[in-house]
Structure 1
Amino acid sequence: MTYLSSISATNFTIAVSTVLILSLFITCVRRYWRLRHIPGPFIASYTDLWAAISVWRGKYYHDTVTQWHAKYGPVVRAGPNRVSFADPNAIPDIYGTSLIYSKSDSYRPMEVMAKGDTMQSIITIRDEKRVTGIKRQIAGGFSQSQWLKQEDQMDATISALLAQLYKKPTGMDIPLRNWLSLWMFDTLTSLAFSKTRGYLQAGVDTDKVFPSAAGRFKHWRTWALAPQLESLLLKNWFMQRAKTTSTPIAELAIERVQDRTAEEKNATGRDLLARYLAASQAAPDVIGMKDVIALTITTIHAGSESTAVITAMALSMVLGSKNSELFRKLEKEILDAYLPVGENGAIAFKDVEHLPYLDAVVRETLRWSVNPNVNSRTVNTPGGVTICDTFIPEGTDVMVSSHDIKNCTWMFGADASVYNPERWMHIDEQKRRDMERSAMGFSWGRRICMGQHLARILIKKLLASLIIAFEIEPIKAGETGKWDGNTIGFNLQVKLTSRKVSENKA
């Protein structure tokens, strides 16, 4: 009996092992087979884990993908279920409006935990019908004309920034990048809540928001290739109940929403929160209070840091030792325009909107500030689609390699790898549209950044206001910008001399 039992146990073990091995084999074959016609690293066809580990060790995924494209060509299998394109022609197919692909799970790590609850923002929602419904309610508040109704609030924070910079001794090393973050955060909170946090006046991030924001961007980059693992480890049932605190930005958003609703106002104000609350009142089944909080978090988190870094990047790129002539051109255009300066020192947007070289600098900086994260979409067309002459099965995640497209010579010219604002000048409108689409500074298509108009307004206003107010000199020409692929990781050290002082000496 014992002998028979041992045989049965052995047979059972063999049977189970055989089933497991066959299951693993079939899974590997299926993973490989559906995208076998697309070249790429062999291991990438079976797992994302090795690429995720390289990111955890400090390597940027977009650098890895660029290396793959250099080796395998413009279409690369970048994962078991992910295909990357290094061709601008893929952009309208992937991000356009004709065939609507949902965002992939790579955006899930961007979801914020607030008091134990997961918040889905307009950026992270993967249900396209829901996104369309939300945008239908709030998109009107993000138009250029709507933002310009709040230009006086923008002028107030620009004036506060200039006032702080005027206080600095001439020739003093100034961490302008930090000041731009303080300015942009105060600007966003003013536009969103009709009052600032007073960061500019204090000269410091009193709420420790910036480290939190940096952590969120790093978190997304770290876990984008392993979203299921991130959910399992960090957003599971136990973590949701154990985590009763929130990030500083989430705490601020919750506090402001609670304050506003407690005031029992009719949501008729002109700030962004009033517009969100009005939209919630008009369509509570589309935008609930949880959505209002999530929208507010996104506005502050994504809007403030991205605009500040692009402004710093624009100055850094034109100030660098190889580009000093670019700054002189920008400075000359702005000073020669004899722009009227308001009593608060700010320049009106209508006076700088159409300055050609300033516009070119902004566009080129947006081209340069490529998104280093996984910006993939999931093909949901029954039967699959063809993108750039390559068949893509239904359910496949597709993306473009932003870094490769930024360096595309047939789109941006032979000097595509060089920062050159003049590529945007003296070209026809169709070429400009094609280049802007390929630059993807604010993404493209249905998911284009809703804050793009505000960002352009603020960047142009501030650059002109700074240049009119100060002579700007980089401390280390050519080393002012440390772009590490992260929105946060950018530095700008300068010396400022007030033009008022220069004029008095003259």
Structure 2
Amino acid sequence: MDNILSSPTLSFLIILPSALAVVALSSLFRSYYRLQHIPGPIIPSLTDWWATINIWTGRPYSDFIPELHEKYGPVVRWGPNRVSFAKPDAVADIYGINRPFPKAASYEPMVVVNNGKPVASLIGTRNERHITEVKRHISVGFSQSTWLKQEGQIDSVLQLLISQLRAKVGSEIDLRHWLSFWSFDTLATVAFGESRGYLKHGEDIDGVFASGSARFRHWGLWMSMPSLEQLIYKNRFAQKPQKGGSALVQMALNRIQERKDVDKEAAGHDLLGRYLAASQAAPDVIAPNDVLGLTISTIHAGSETTASNASMVLLRVLENPRIFSTLEQEILHANLSDPPTFAQVDALPYLNACIHESMRLTASPNCFERTVAPADAEISGVRIPAGTDVSICETFVNADVELFGADAAVFRPERWLDVEKAKFAEMDRAGFGFGYGRRHCIGQHLARIEMKKGIAALVASFKIHLAERPEWWVEDTQVKMSLKVRLEERV
């Protein structure tokens, strides 16, 4: 027995676990110590499982992070390497052009996998140098002036929406669903030169909406544990059953292949054509896989975010009869054409104020993290070590009373009217509806065109009556909404 206890093998078996425990504890201590000057609860400072369990049990980031700020103040630590800020001045410090912090690892679960290989997109790509080069070649295709060259196509889809809704006059409908179909068909028309037929059929005919929703849900559920997500979902064994790709990936592949077959020169008359033309001009920057990723990004942006924002504007104004009456009178007295032009609706101050105010109050359920790099940085007056993942708590920033006034929590579009340009710009910079800085939403101009024209056309065409109290909630890290209305055609 003495020989066994003194054997080198047994000594090794005793020493190894002890050494590993020492290394683990040392790593844990260093992780805790480097951010010990940031207030926050002890358990989240030691493990990301605290945040993950909150998410998996139905509590989104937009719930529990504001609670931490309520208790610990404007700067709070909510993970071993995660810090949240709740002051407007931190927005530029984290996301500004002069601070090109890369997207954090929490974006990795957003990356789509096709044929066992990851395909980067505008949303999920973390390589700042690469995404800057890509945007340099395609950004002109996303400018407001470029989109307005396709205003006739945008109008054709808007007219179809109005026509379909006229057939529903007097019936109870969920306007949120119809705005989703309209937004996606608009996107498909300007991006691919064809409508997908969602408005015509009034349903998700090929599962693309469900696929896009599943992707965002997956991201939200796993963004606090990107390494574990990689291990479970993106190993070569897990990918075998998914070899064909999701419905979203498959649709993008089909559109690209169809365009290559029909137009070898990729002339660039629509967005996909411009993508393919850019790939031909700079194949070292925009490879075939990049075209796929760009297409997926476009579909994601168009299938949900524009419709969600437009629906939220309508929900908020319909909840407030005074505000809706003011908006209604502005639109009805503007002598708009049918359909209205962008030049006409862009000149409607109250409509624009309603959109600004709604987007201010609509915080994302997720957080948009950046990694402090390459050196330590000062954010909102606080020293943050390099390598730390930092983000903004939109709920607090959007309700900052110093910036937005004592009634900051109230939906009041008038706060955007009759203010000095400097104040307007300061409030606008704090908004996060279309992102900020280098990684702002590249499709924001199309989204604004759609929202302004769409809302104005709806109000000009119909008297809109709430069928039941509208509501919105967060489910599976996504904003869900019920906007049931009855429409009465204007004479």
* Distance in structure 2 (CA, Å) of the matches to 1:48 and 1:414: 35
Aligned partner of 1:35 in structure 2 is: 35
Aligned partner of 1:99 in structure 2 is: 99
For residue 406 of structure 2, the aligned residue among 377, 401, 414 is 414
Aligned partner of 2:470 in structure 1 is: 480
* Distance in structure 1 (CA, Å) of the matches to 2:21 and 2:230: 27
**1:338 partner letter:** N
Q: Residue 309 of structure 1 contacts residue 487 of structure 1 at CA under 8 Å; is this kept in 2?
A: no
User: Shift of the alpha carbon at 1:10?
Assistant: 4.7
* Distance in structure 2 (CA, Å) of the matches to 1:32 and 1:297: 39
Q: Residue 472 of structure 2 contacts residue 479 of structure 2 at CA under 8 Å; is this kept in 1?
A: no
Q: Residue 61 of structure 2 contacts residue 365 of structure 2 at CA under 8 Å; is this kept in 1?
A: yes
**1:387 partner letter:** I
* Distance in structure 1 (CA, Å) of the matches to 2:64 and 2:78: 9
Structure 1 position 371 matched with structure 2 position 364: yes
User: Shift of the alpha carbon at 1:35?
Assistant: 0.5
User: Shift of the alpha carbon at 1:198?
Assistant: 1.1
For residues 372 and 239 of structure 1, do their structure 2 counterparts lie closer, same or farther at Cα, with a shift above 3 Å needed? Answer: same
Aligned partner of 1:328 in structure 2 is: 325
User: Shift of the alpha carbon at 1:279?
Assistant: 0.5
Aligned partner of 1:312 in structure 2 is: 311
* Distance in structure 2 (CA, Å) of the matches to 1:483 and 1:349: 31
User: Shift of the alpha carbon at 1:16?
Assistant: 2.0
**2:489 partner letter:** S
Structure 1 position 463 matched with structure 2 position 462: no
Aligned partner of 1:133 in structure 2 is: 133
Q: Residue 111 of structure 2 contacts residue 121 of structure 2 at CA under 8 Å; is this kept in 1?
A: yes
* Distance in structure 1 (CA, Å) of the matches to 2:137 and 2:80: 38
For residue 384 of structure 2, the aligned residue among 384, 389, 392 is 392
**2:452 partner letter:** K
Q: Residue 480 of structure 1 contacts residue 491 of structure 1 at CA under 8 Å; is this kept in 2?
A: yes
Secondary structure of 2:378's aligned partner: strand
Q: Sequence identity, in percent?
A: 45
Deviation per CA, 1:340-378: give whole Å up to 9, x if none: 22xxxx111111102100000111111122222121100
* Distance in structure 2 (CA, Å) of the matches to 1:411 and 1:483: 26
More deviation, 232-241/347-356: 232-241
Secondary structure of 1:24's aligned partner: helix
Q: Residue 171 of structure 2 contacts residue 486 of structure 2 at CA under 8 Å; is this kept in 1?
A: yes
TM-score by length of 1: 0.94
Q: Residue 317 of structure 1 contacts residue 481 of structure 1 at CA under 8 Å; is this kept in 2?
A: no
User: Shift of the alpha carbon at 1:487?
Assistant: 4.6
Gap regions ≥5 residues in structure 2: none
User: Shift of the alpha carbon at 1:336?
Assistant: 1.1
* Distance in structure 2 (CA, Å) of the matches to 1:469 and 1:131: 42
TM-score by length of 2: 0.97
Alignment of 1:100-119 (within 5 A): 100-119=100-119
User: Shift of the alpha carbon at 1:62?
Assistant: 2.2
* Distance in structure 1 (CA, Å) of the matches to 2:30 and 2:247: 44
* Distance in structure 2 (CA, Å) of the matches to 1:487 and 1:135: 27
* Distance in structure 2 (CA, Å) of the matches to 1:469 and 1:90: 42
Deviation per CA, 1:293-340: give whole Å up to 9, x if none: 1100110112221000111111110001xx111111100000011212
User: Shift of the alpha carbon at 1:488?
Assistant: 4.8
Deviation per CA, 1:237-269: give whole Å up to 9, x if none: 212334212222211110000111112431114
**1:94 partner letter:** I
Secondary structure of 1:482's aligned partner: strand
For residues 222 and 368 of structure 1, do their structure 2 counterparts lie closer, same or farther at Cα, with a shift above 3 Å needed? Answer: same
Q: Residue 177 of structure 1 contacts residue 308 of structure 1 at CA under 8 Å; is this kept in 2?
A: yes
Alignment of 1:153-192 (within 5 A): 153-168=153-168, 170-192=169-191
**1:426 partner letter:** D
Structure 1 position 202 matched with structure 2 position 206: no
Q: Residue 214 of structure 1 contacts residue 488 of structure 1 at CA under 8 Å; is this kept in 2?
A: no
* Distance in structure 1 (CA, Å) of the matches to 2:363 and 2:422: 22
**1:311 partner letter:** A
**1:13 partner letter:** L
* Distance in structure 1 (CA, Å) of the matches to 2:390 and 2:139: 27
Deviation per CA, 1:432-467: give whole Å up to 9, x if none: 111111111101101110111111110000111111
Secondary structure of 1:462's aligned partner: helix
More deviation, 111-120/464-473: 111-120
* Distance in structure 1 (CA, Å) of the matches to 2:218 and 2:396: 24
* Distance in structure 2 (CA, Å) of the matches to 1:351 and 1:300: 27
Structure 1 position 85 matched with structure 2 position 78: no
Q: Residue 41 of structure 2 contacts residue 78 of structure 2 at CA under 8 Å; is this kept in 1?
A: yes
* Distance in structure 1 (CA, Å) of the matches to 2:225 and 2:416: 38
User: Shift of the alpha carbon at 1:129?
Assistant: 0.4
Alignment of 1:262-277 (within 5 A): 262-277=261-276
Gap regions ≥5 residues in structure 1: 501-506
* Distance in structure 1 (CA, Å) of the matches to 2:198 and 2:167: 16
Secondary structure of 2:77's aligned partner: strand
